[in-house]
Structure 1
Amino acid sequence: MSKLFQVSLFVPGVLLIVLLFAMLPALIQADPMNGGLHLMWGQAFSKIREYIEGIWTGQSFHYYAGQNELLFWEQIGNSLKVTSFYMVIGAVIGTIIGVLLGIYFAVSRAGWLMRLMELFGALPDFVIVILLQFIVVLVAMKTGVVLAKVGSFNHNEPAILLPLLSTIIIPASFMIRNVALHMKHTLTEDYINFAKSRGLTKGYIIFHHALPNVLPFIKADLHKFMGILFGNLFIFEYLYNLLGVTLLVFVNAFGMHGYQYNLVVNGILTFLLLYAAVYLLLRLMIIGWEKVLTR
């Protein structure tokens, strides 16, 4: 099967999965009398048909926020900017810090610090967010100094520092463990010992011999890294009160007019496009590192 043919099947396949996934709340309905669950196949597939038909009329891009009917294209721009800002910076800086600290832990004897990092990285995302907010509140109560905003109280003055720290710390902990593991293994290879015997400096060996052979493993694990970064995005946006893509969808998915299938489909597709853009950015960054380090 040619790569072009695979790509031509991939896009419709993703669209079909999104359409089917978004119809689940319409498919599974609870009986108001006894609370039993029923599968409403006709109602569910009618949502898909209405969405496809509404693409040509533009109705598929309308949704309700309370009693107000809004156009998805007019509202998603600001939400996409918010989510993109934190996800791009978190992904790039988290990757850079993860690679550098992973190298440090691989060549240093600070095993206790590495174990502490692993323990911190094992904490759920929402615990890390709440812990950061608690520290800020505790410092403010003890000293009167507010280090950062614990959340966004309005769109004009959003919280920046704590959300950025969260999006950097959470994926960076995975990258540190991953890089340290592969770097330790790479440093035991014969070609590394040969490079040492030639009198090459430690830094040159690490960055021009070992790291180029670790970067392919980093590329292979990018989807895991991205999964950690994007996995709990709704919890992240909810706890910091950031009106991003996922919060826009979850807050309005069930409104006065019932389940808004169109909004959910459009929101998921926007989320997937952002995921693809950040993934491509990280992949190009790593490829760039490979080009520079292997010269």
Structure 2
Amino acid sequence: MDNNRSMHVTLLPFSDVQAAIGKAREEWKETTDFNTAHHSEEEIDAVIPTGKEDFPFRHVMSSFFPTRFGHWVPLIAASQGASCWHVFEIPRYLAQELAGLYARAKDSDVGHSIVETLDDVISRLYTSMRAVRGLGDILEESAAEKPRSFLMPFNAAMGPARECRVFCPPGKGRISAISQYRWTEPFRFQSTDNANDEALVIYEGARAIYDRIMESAEKMQDSSIRGKMKEEGFTFDVLRTPSGEVQFVEINPFGAMSGCGSCLFNWIRDAKLLYGMEQQVRLQFAV
């Protein structure tokens, strides 16, 4: 990984984020100032032209396959101090029924709580839009595959308000930017007076996790996983625990055309940064 990059921390006034959200609500639409996704090829190609020396790739809808939780669960578990996990297959008929009702259930109505029964598992799935979409993606990708659900040991430190999204553009072999994950509220720094120091801890932790991700990808038998990651890029989420650890949470697609939200960035406005065309690595938080 390229370590010769300076880090710049931007602390946005949360009032600016609130103003953008409020303006969008008045107009009955989503804000385009932050957390954009699903841009057109024409939009991103106008800012990051394809076929150039600094971007020899095509803009595509990123594949979900390299970012599947099952590929990364050993690394995620190790990062969170877990030595075991449970996996069970969901029958396709049940997955189809759940997908018709409304895969990590981070956005479930019940929030961050312990799963103790099969009913709890089913509840997490059908009350989570992300989980339902994940089931639908797997059902569409394969006519025979059964979706799998992973049960991890409960992590009391887990909380989206302390998570960050890390952007890793195609062909650059490095991190380009980091944003807080839950962009609709101020980031939970232990102390805003020491925000730069805490941001440095997050950056260094993210760099170490990036290296472990790429090492794991190189060891995987399916070479298409690392090939897609290098050609399409990826994002991953990290957790800054109250004790100061930086843990690996999950991996997601990259790119303006993907459904991956840009959090406190905008995929088009900040394209040069996110796609690794700028020298500095920017960490952006709202306070």
Q: TM-score, normalised on structure 2?
A: 0.22
Indicate the structure with greater helix content: 1
Which structure has the bigger radius of gyration? 1
Task: Answer 1 or 2: higher relative contact order, Cα 8 Å, separation at least 6.
Answer: 2
